[in-house]
């Protein structure tokens, strides 16, 4: 950066924080702080709370006592506005809570009891591969635990305790993947040893006994219809298309469905 541009950038910092009456030297330090803070990364980023903590730490080192008092008042106002925004948006997620509660009830009363009533689905149809299946179930349990922890960490990192309804909605959605395993998402994050075992099992799950296959087809058709009706009841006023165009073949969809069924756990993985 040529000196003229640098001086202009520092002057811009002085103007942006005019209420603080920054000296050129103070503005230089804040300019360097902002350059570092805004360094682009596709892996790491601050939450609003973290950015404010980082900013406060820097400003305490740069400002004098009078300036710091003015800055703290302005920061408090920003935080109050942010908290208000979080609290105001939280009730909007109540409909999602009801949506997930109804879907959970359908799983527990309509979908899973019939699936578990089928001997093939309850006890498995690859009896010679039990060790591999138990390994996949253990890895899926770890996948679920990681997912729940990610939800909790991300929620409190960004929302603290100001959006309890949002947290409830996110955890209900996550629990659905314990009731009916989400093999598609699981497969996307597998490590190589797990992927190797899964690939071996995938080759053997393509066909179910006719009676079991008919049951699965009927129940998943009912599930698709229920989800469509449920979406229309809770989200039809949001506008736009909500149809998801699948990029997988019919054969791959069958494998994903059958692998999900193979991962069914009568104890719902403890969720």
Domain carrying residue 141: 95-270
Tokens 């003015």 locate to: 70
Q: Is residue 180 located within the same domain as residue 77?
A: no
Structure confidence at residue 239 (pLDDT): 55
Structure confidence at residue 2 (pLDDT): 56
Q: Is residue 99 located within the same domain as residue 84?
A: no
Q: How far apart are CA 204 and CA 172, in angstroms?
A: 32
Q: Is residue 213 located within the same domain as residue 126?
A: yes
For 142-167, write each residue's pLDDT tens digit: 999 999 999 999 999 999 999 999 99
Q: Is residue 102 located within the same domain as residue 213?
A: yes
For 47-58, write each residue's pLDDT tens digit: 999 999 999 999
Q: How far apart are CA 221 and CA 224, in angstroms?
A: 5
What's the pTM? 0.90
Within 8 A by CB and 6+ apart from 260, the residues are 180, 181, 182, 183, 184
Q: Is residue 115 located within the same domain as residue 83?
A: no
More confident residue, 89 or 247: 89
For 55-81, write each residue's pLDDT tens digit: 999 999 999 999 999 999 999 999 999
Q: How many domains does the chain have?
A: 2
More confident residue, 252 or 243: 252
Tell me the two tokens of residue 106. Answer: 């359908």
Domain stop point among 88, 108, 142 = 88
Percent of the chain, pLDDT > 90? 89
Q: How far apart are CA 96 and CA 133, in angstroms?
A: 33
Domain stop point among 73, 88, 103 = 88
Runs of H (alpha helix) within 17-91: 24-37, 48-62, 65-89
Structure confidence at residue 127 (pLDDT): 83
For 83-136, write each residue's pLDDT tens digit: 999 999 999 999 999 999 999 999 999 999 999 999 999 888 888 899 999 999
Q: Is residue 64 located within the same domain as residue 178?
A: no
Q: What is the DSSP letter of 160?
A: T
Structure confidence at residue 241 (pLDDT): 45
Residue pair 55/21 in contact by the 8 Å Cβ criterion:
no
Secondary structure element (H or E) that encloses residue 107, with its range:
none
What confidence category does residue 40 fall into, taking pLDDT thresholds of 50, 70 and 90?
very high
In the predicted model, is pLDDT for residue 244 greater than 60?
no
Domain stop point among 58, 88, 118 = 88
Q: Is residue 84 located within the same domain as residue 166?
A: no
Q: Is residue 234 located within the same domain as residue 260?
A: yes
In the predicted model, is pLDDT for residue 229 greater than 70?
yes
Using CA atoms, how far residue 152 sits from 79, 170, 251, in Å, is 22, 9, 36
- Across the chain, where does the E strand assignment appear? none
Percent of the chain, pLDDT > 70? 96
């Amino acid at each position: 950066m040529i000196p003229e541009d640098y001086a202009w950038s520092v002057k811009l910092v002085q103007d942006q924080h005019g209420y603080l009456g920054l000296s050129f030297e103070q503005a230089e330090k804040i300019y360097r702080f902002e350059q570092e803070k805004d360094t682009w990364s596709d892996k790491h980023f601050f939450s609003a709370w973290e950015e404010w903590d980082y900013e406060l730490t820097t400003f305490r080192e740069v400002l004098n006592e009078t300036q710091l008092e003015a800055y703290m008042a302005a920061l408090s106002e920003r935080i109050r506005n942010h908290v208000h925004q979080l609290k105001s948006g939280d009730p909007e997620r109540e409909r999602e809570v009801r949506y997930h509660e109804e879907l959970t009830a359908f799983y527990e009363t309509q979908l899973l009891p019939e699936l578990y009533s089928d001997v093939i689905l309850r006890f498995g149809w690859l009896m010679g591969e039990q060790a591999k299946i138990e390994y996949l179930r253990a890895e899926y349990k770890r996948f679920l635990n990681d997912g729940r922890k990610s939800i909790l960490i991300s929620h409190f990192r960004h929302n603290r305790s100001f959006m309890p309804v949002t947290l409830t909605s996110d955890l209900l959605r996550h629990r659905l993947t314990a009731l009916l395993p989400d093999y598609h998402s699981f497969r996307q994050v597998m490590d190589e040893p797990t992927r190797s075992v899964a690939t071996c099992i995938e080759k053997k799950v393509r066909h179910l006994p006719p009676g079991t296959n008919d049951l699965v087809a009927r129940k998943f058709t009912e599930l698709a219809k229920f989800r469509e009706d449920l979406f229309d009841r809770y989200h039809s006023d949001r506008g736009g298309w909500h149809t998801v165009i699948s990029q997988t073949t019919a054969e791959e969809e069958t494998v994903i469905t059958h692998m999900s069924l193979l991962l069914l756990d009568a104890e719902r993985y403890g969720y």
